[in-house]
Chain A
Amino acid sequence: MTNDVQLPELDSVGLLRYGWRQLTSMRTALILLMLLGIAAIPGSLVPQRTQNPMAVSAAFKGSPELSQWMDRLSLFDVYGSPWFSAIYILLFISLIGCVLPRTFEHFHAARALPPATPKNLNRMEFYSSWPATGNELEAARKWFKTNRFRILEKDGSISAEKGFLRETGNLFFHLALILILLGISLSSLFGMRGDAILNVGERFVNTPTSYDSLAYGKLFKDGKLESFILNIDNFDAKYNIVTNAPEDYTLSISLRRGNLENIEKHLIKVNSPLAIGNTKIYLQANGYSPVVTVRDSKGNVAMQGPIPFLSQDGNLRSIGAIKVPDADPQVGFVGSFVPTYARSNGNGAISVFPQALDPRLLLAAWSGDLGLDSGTPQSVYRIDTSSMSQLGLKSLKPGEVFIYPGGSITFEGYVQWVNLQIVNDPGKNFALLGAIVAILGLLASLFTRRRRIWIRVGDVVEVAGLAKNAAPGLEQELKVFIEAVKSEAKGEK
């Protein structure tokens, strides 16, 4: 009673075969392609951890419950999420399953001769005929040869075909996409990427501990970090005096590679990174580091040096924190640095130009527990003042001192800092090669027309043609062909 419909029994092999056929069908591939496009959308609307971690933590603070749910769906890591990966992996399997058999097929077809001329040419498209004079076949053969058609001559007729490049290009395009994917995987497996914030005058030794953040590919080995030492000699930023927009950043460094003694001088700009072997060094962000000296009540130096501040707007008003954990009780300064000082009615001190023409350091001094030993990671640019008490506020010009109960802080001046990104990306050349091949293949496949032309010479000359994919232009080509055959045949007579 239950088995009204007899389903053909599928064993596991049959099931696999069925599944494979479904996956590699064009329809499935197309659905997967569209899904990939749609799946990419949320990542551009929801902040992503890899691009904007600050916005992600802000979202968690704003609505923790919703964010937790979104996080479970990997909405903050869309492009590394299981569902996004599943779509593109399936798409590429489908693509390989589709393209490989076609490659073999095409390879065979490319060596085969075109099929023989059909019997009834007058049923084909663009048919035309005229009385024969005798030499048409030879004339046609000549024309086909100069126009590089592949021909099959049989029983007083020629079947000619051209446009194999279309499928060749198509296949190369799809194979190149696989190459691009391989390049991307190589980069993520064997590559490395790190950031370091360095003040002008500082030295950077390329070891893991020198980085502020460093990410290795899963198969990257520690010892493979390129060995070099560089020194930040100078950083020069030029700004437009009308629009305040930056016009040029130039970073000068001294470099010592590996075990070599000699020191090389280099310039790094935003669009021209420095290459050291397979490693490239990019100039990314920059900003100001106020240089301060903190002394205790006895005048002993508790802390001294430049502290990188984070810029907040186009005029580089920057905020930061100066933490003195060794003081007793601990002291911290919540600071704001303005390169060109002005007062605004609403916002207090603002900066009106990004270059340091009239710098000020505005400080709020706090005393108490900085919370550095609490175990929770802290931003270097902020201080949790919840268990501290304020000692006072002060605005300082370079050279001025702020004396607060228990000590003093001197604003010595400022230096600039730069954020260097150091990258080793071994897969990018494969990706680039893939991209170039993809474009060439695409051009070949979209602009080549595959077509056949037949000619049969008996008492009358019969000509017809067939354009695959209804490509335009065959009619015109046939006209030229017929013209050539007619004039050639006449000329030989």
Chain B
Amino acid sequence: MSRTWAYLSNYLIYSSMAVYTLSFFAHAVETAWAVKITKVSTDKNLDYKRTEKVARIATAMMILGFILLFAGVIARGISAGRVPWGNMYEFSITGALAFSGAYLVALRKHDLRWLGLLVSIAVLLTLGTAVAVLYRPSAPLVPALKSTWLVIHVSAAIISGGVFLLANAVAAAYLYLDSMESKGERSHWAKRLPSLEYLDQLSYRLVAFVFPLWTFAVIAGAIWAESAWGRYWGWDPKETWAFITWVAYAAYLHARVTIGWRGRRAAWLCLFAGSTFLFNYVYVNIWGTGKHTYSGL
């Protein structure tokens, strides 16, 4: 029975990858043929009609991919009889789900479809690595992970991660467009992208929105550590890097709110903070020592 669910989960995740690939191609088409360039193309006669159609298909694919991935993650959980957060493979598929979920939620309020290319490729790479390198058969949890805090701590961390990385993608787009603008004007395909100020503000809002959740994830981890390991803080590499990420984002928020950092400097600081999160996920899980060695590798 649990085997069937595990197979089903694998099929769903493969299918979601296929759909994300379609979404990626649609986004690529959208970006590459964003505008019909006539011989005299001024800003006014740029034609986005063709793009709009492709962008809709791309987003529809993204939603379908999300649904399949969601079902895949759930099936994985059912197959193991627990939340699907027991090893690195499961962290990765859930992380990809959280990242594309954060994108889709943000899409309701902001037209971020131009970011879809980046989002779909990131999701594909994460899922690809998960399936090819990190895959482990579905199994019960080790005793240290058997706790309600697994649900609370890990879900908070994964959701925060998804939103942090989305903020990173926006900050990266900011830096790219900023360098494009400083060399002259934006190329045609980039003209429909939002203004620099908008991107600047958006990455800030994403971080400000999710920073309390990340704080909560760290505190929930500390409470759990107290009951599992006898201390709430021990400078375990994972804890240290969670702390560094927290400090980096705290510095980012302070720099913006109290000193008034904007634009390029703020975007770089945002990227730095996000990279400490990624480092924690990749390096500490796989090569690190310490108590958070649940990658199953």
Interface size grouping (class) on chain B = 35 or more
> Could you tell me if A79 and B235 are in contact, using CB atoms closer than 8 angstroms?
yes
**Option from B219, B247, B257, B276 in Cβ contact (under 8 Å) with A36:** B247
Assembled-state Cα–Cα distance A40/B255 (Å): 20
> Could you tell me if B254 and A30 are in contact, using CB atoms closer than 8 angstroms?
yes
Q: List 27 A-B contacts (CB under 8 A).
A: A26-B254, A26-B258, A30-B255, A34-B248, A34-B251, A37-B247, A40-B247, A43-B240, A44-B241, A44-B288, A50-B235, A51-B236, A51-B289, A55-B289, A193-B231, A243-B139, A245-B142, A246-B142, A248-B146, A269-B146, A270-B146, A271-B144, A271-B227, A421-B230, A423-B231, A428-B226, A439-B219
Selected interface stretch from A133-141, A145-153, A430-438: A430-438
Closest 4 CB pairs of A and B: A37-B247, A282-B230, A44-B240, A270-B143
| Chain B proximity mask over A31-46: 1 for CB below 8 Å, otherwise 0 | 0011011001101100
**Do A51 and B230 contact each other (CB < 8 Å), given the known contacts A41-B244, A246-B143, A439-B215?**
no
| Chain A proximity mask over B261-291: 1 for CB below 8 Å, otherwise 0 | 0000000000000001000000010001110
Q: Report which B residues bind A (CB closer than 8 A).
A: 137, 139-144, 146-147, 149, 208-209, 211-212, 215-216, 219, 222-224, 226-237, 240-241, 243-244, 247-248, 250-251, 254-255, 257-259, 276, 284, 288-290
**Do A446 and B208 contact each other (CB < 8 Å), given the known contacts A33-B251, A47-B289, A431-B232?**
yes
> Could you tell me if B251 and A51 are in contact, using CB atoms closer than 8 angstroms?
no
Interface residue A263 (Cβ < 8 Å from any Cβ of B): no
Interface residue A23 (Cβ < 8 Å from any Cβ of B): no
The residues of A that contact B234 with a CB separation of less than 8 Å are: 50-51
The residues of B that contact A85 with a CB separation of less than 8 Å are: none
Assembled-state Cα–Cα distance A430/B290 (Å): 26
Assembled-state Cα–Cα distance A34/B251 (Å): 6
Interface residue A293 (Cβ < 8 Å from any Cβ of B): no
- Interface class of chain B by DSSP: helix
Assembled-state Cα–Cα distance A426/B58 (Å): 56
Assembled-state Cα–Cα distance A423/B226 (Å): 10
The residues of B that contact A271 with a CB separation of less than 8 Å are: 143-144, 146-147, 149, 224, 227-228
**Option from A29, A184, A243, A438 in Cβ contact (under 8 Å) with B215:** A438
Nearest-CB residue, chain A, relative to B224: A271
| Chain B proximity mask over A238-276: 1 for CB below 8 Å, otherwise 0 | 001011011111000000000000000000011111000
**Do A435 and B228 contact each other (CB < 8 Å), given the known contacts A30-B254, A44-B240?**
no
The residues of A that contact B141 with a CB separation of less than 8 Å are: 247
> Could you tell me if B223 and A432 are in contact, using CB atoms closer than 8 angstroms?
yes
**Option from B231, B250, B259 in Cβ contact (under 8 Å) with A27:** B259
> Could you tell me if A40 and B244 are in contact, using CB atoms closer than 8 angstroms?
yes
Q: Which of A47, A50, A246 has the most CB of B within 10 A?
A: A246
**Option from B143, B211, B244, B284 in Cβ contact (under 8 Å) with A249:** B143
Given contacts A47-B289, A245-B142, A439-B216, 14 further A-B contacts (CB under 8 A): A26-B254, A27-B259, A30-B254, A33-B251, A34-B247, A44-B235, A44-B240, A51-B236, A248-B143, A271-B143, A282-B230, A431-B222, A432-B223, A432-B232
